């Protein structure tokens, strides 16, 4: 399931996984010198004193990992499962046979790990995802993360002549940055967001995927006549709606509209493109094209109803194929498309899609073995580990490649085709990384969720959301980020 599927198997509360990617904090870790370490050891006064000493830097150990130091890795137990990470841990253990690795997986990332951050005893590597994701902006702002630049500049696992950063998909490095050059997060999965559907169901209506909103309404009308709703979505977690709505806004009004929204600019939500897209989605509700009861469904229930053929379209991320594998029929012919636009006056072409990193991995600033945490990531960014992930969980990784020789599932094949079609027209809204609570609770639940349930008009929803954005912009307790 999608790595990004934070919500995945959502515990309680908000659940979206993927969604979630946030960003993290500034903290540069340097390995203390021997004299500093011994001084700490004798005085016992500094919590840096129990950090692992540096190992010997070699061609096979470019990050100078201490080969006897323990390494602790905590994974989010979500849509992607934990087997891919366990497999990568085995490689670490094989390379450093004297090192003891402690690996665990949990859905309760924040409640399990926040106390350990506060105590100065965090793990060495964390997959900070899920409903209980720790807020990356806060972690970065409080200097609680290690700068991952040494990992990115290290030789790649497969080719010593290539740096790790040169093996990654476009946008991955930038996504891990907040202010300036330092990289605080490594997003391991690569998620394609969009509108997911059964090609078989679409064919049964004798329809093509709609490129304009008039065509979308016509397809939904035809589906309704056959007893099938046009749309469903995770009503309890309506921050899934932006997976198709935000790229539609970018398609209609241009990237600068999404950038203004991310930058919390005054009146950004009052742009005509936003109003036009909100009106379009609201029309789905008004015309009865949304599956009855959708506002009360969580992500699993909505995906199950969709897989059972009760609704044609669902906004989601590429983790949905793995997450719903047990309910998607064999002949479903899963497909994803970029969002439908309004009409020929849209600023960007049909095919404009949101694709970006998911599953944010971080190395805490106070990790005892930061170089070990980074080395584990270097292993995961090898071609073999990437192929293993893609083969097991039906999702791409941040490694640019890793699909040769892997039998691509229908959804994955469709996602790769959608990326090919998009070309340069890939958008990456950052709101969900930079301002988690604003995106999930306020814009998602209190704004879009209420509008799609018919309790707010589009104009009311926009006014409310703009108010939330203005509050966040004025709140000095929140670290603010801007597109460079």
Report yes or no: 283 and 303 within 8 Å, Cβ to Cβ.
Answer: no
The DSSP element (H or E) to which 214 belongs, if any, is helix 213-225
Report yes or no: 331 and 204 within 8 Å, Cβ to Cβ.
Answer: no
Residue with tokens 């109803």: 305
Q: What's the CA gap between 152 and 149, in Å, rounded?
A: 5
pLDDT at 40: 31
Most confident of 32-46, 264-278, 410-424: 264-278
Q: What's the CA gap between 269 and 227, in Å, rounded?
A: 35
Q: What's the CA gap between 170 and 188, in Å, rounded?
A: 13
pLDDT at 433: 82
What average pLDDT does the structure give for the chain? 89
* pLDDT, tens digit (0-9, with 9 covering 90-100), for 8-66: 333 223 333 333 232 222 222 223 333 323 333 322 333 445 799 999 999 999 999 99
**Residue 313 confidence (pLDDT) above 90:** yes
Cα angle 47, 88, 137 (rounded to 5 degrees) comes to: 50
Residue with tokens 């599953």: 359
pLDDT at 10: 32
Instruction: Give the CA distances from residue 317 to residues 6, 10, 159, 299, 360, in Å, rounded to whole numbers and listed in that order.
Output: 11, 15, 31, 11, 15
Q: What's the CA gap between 166 and 156, in Å, rounded?
A: 8
Q: What's the CA gap between 210 and 221, in Å, rounded?
A: 12
This prediction's pTM: 0.77
Instruction: Say how many Å lie between the first and final Cα of the chain, rounded.
Output: 32
User: Quick one: tokens of 318?
Assistant: 């590429």
pLDDT above 70: percentage of residues in the chain: 90
pLDDT at 35: 31
pLDDT at 179: 74
Tell me, which fold does domain 193-354+429-474 have in CATH? D-Maltodextrin-Binding Protein; domain 2 (3.40.190)
pLDDT at 19: 31
pLDDT at 13: 31
In the chain, CATH 3.40.190.10 sits at: 34-191+356-411, 193-354+429-474
Helix (H, G, I), strand (E, B) or coil at 484: coil
pLDDT at 432: 86
Report the range of poorest mean pLDDT among 176-190, 199-213, 268-282, 341-355: 176-190
Q: What's the CA gap between 164 and 419, in Å, rounded?
A: 22
**Residue 255 confidence (pLDDT) above 70:** yes
Mean pLDDT of 80-103: 97
Q: Looking at the domain that runs over 34-191+356-411, which CATH code has it been given?
A: 3.40.190.10
91-109 burial by CB neighbour count: b if 16+ within 10 A, else e? bbeeebeebebebeebbeb
* pLDDT, tens digit (0-9, with 9 covering 90-100), for 113-160: 999 999 999 999 999 998 788 988 889 889 999 999 999 999 999 999
Identify which of 328, 326, 344 has the alpha carbon closest to the alpha carbon of residue 336.
Answer: 328
């Amino acid at each position: 399931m999608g790595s990004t599927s934070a919500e995945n198997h959502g515990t309680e509360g908000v659940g979206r996984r993927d969604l979630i990617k946030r960003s993290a904090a500034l903290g540069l870790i340097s390995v203390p010198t021997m004299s500093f370490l011994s001084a700490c050891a004798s005085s016992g006064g500094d919590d840096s004193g129990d950090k692992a000493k540096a190992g010997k830097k070699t061609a096979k150990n470019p990050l100078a990992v201490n080969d006897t130091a323990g390494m602790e890795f905590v994974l989010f137990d979500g849509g992607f499962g934990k087997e891919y990470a366990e497999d990568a841990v085995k490689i670490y253990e094989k390379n450093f046979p004297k090192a003891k690795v402690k690996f665990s997986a949990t859905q309760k990332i924040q409640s399990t790990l926040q106390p350990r951050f506060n105590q100065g005893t965090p793990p060495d590597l964390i997959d900070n995802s899920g409903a209980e994701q720790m807020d990356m902006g806060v972690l970065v702002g409080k200097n609680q993360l290690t700068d991952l630049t040494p990992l990115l500049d290290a030789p790649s696992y497969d080719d010593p002549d290539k740096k790790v950063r040169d093996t990654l998909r476009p946008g991955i490095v930038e996504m891990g940055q907040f202010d300036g050059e330092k990289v605080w997060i490594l997003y391991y999965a690569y998620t394609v967001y969009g509108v997911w559907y059964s090609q078989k169901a679409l064919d049964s209506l004798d329809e093509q995927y709609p490129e304009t909103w008039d065509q979308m309404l016509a397809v939904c009308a035809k589906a309704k006549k056959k007893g099938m709703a046009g749309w469903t979505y995770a009503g309890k977690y309506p921050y899934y709606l932006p997976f198709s709505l935000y790229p539609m806004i970018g398609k209609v009004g241009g990237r600068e509209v999404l950038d203004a929204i991310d930058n919390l600019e005054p009146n950004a939500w009052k742009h005509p493109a936003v109003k036009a897209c909100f009106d379009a989605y609201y029309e789905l509700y008004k015309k009865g094209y949304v599956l009855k009861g959708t506002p009360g469904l969580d992500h699993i229930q909505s995906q199950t109803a969709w897989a059972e053929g009760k609704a044609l379209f669902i906004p989601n991320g590429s983790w949905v194929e793995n997450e719903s594998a047990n309910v998607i029929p064999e002949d479903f012919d899963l497909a994803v498309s970029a969002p439908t636009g309004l009409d020929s006056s849209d600023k960007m072409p049909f095919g404009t899609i949101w694709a970006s990193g998911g599953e944010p991995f971080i190395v805490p600033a106070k990790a005892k073995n930061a170089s070990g945490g980074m080395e584990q990531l270097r292993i995961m960014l090898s071609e073999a580990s990437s192929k293993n992930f893609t083969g097991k969980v039906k999702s791409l990784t941040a490694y640019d490649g890793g699909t040769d020789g892997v039998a691509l599932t229908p959804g994955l094949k469709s996602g790769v085709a959608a990326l090919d079609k998009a070309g340069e027209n890939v958008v990456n809204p950052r709101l969900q990384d930079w301002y988690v609570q604003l995106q999930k609770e306020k814009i998602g639940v209190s704004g879009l969720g209420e509008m799609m349930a018919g309790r707010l008009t589009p104009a009311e929803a926009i006014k409310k959301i703009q108010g939330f954005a203005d509050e966040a912009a004025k709140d000095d307790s929140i670290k603010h980020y801007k597109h460079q």
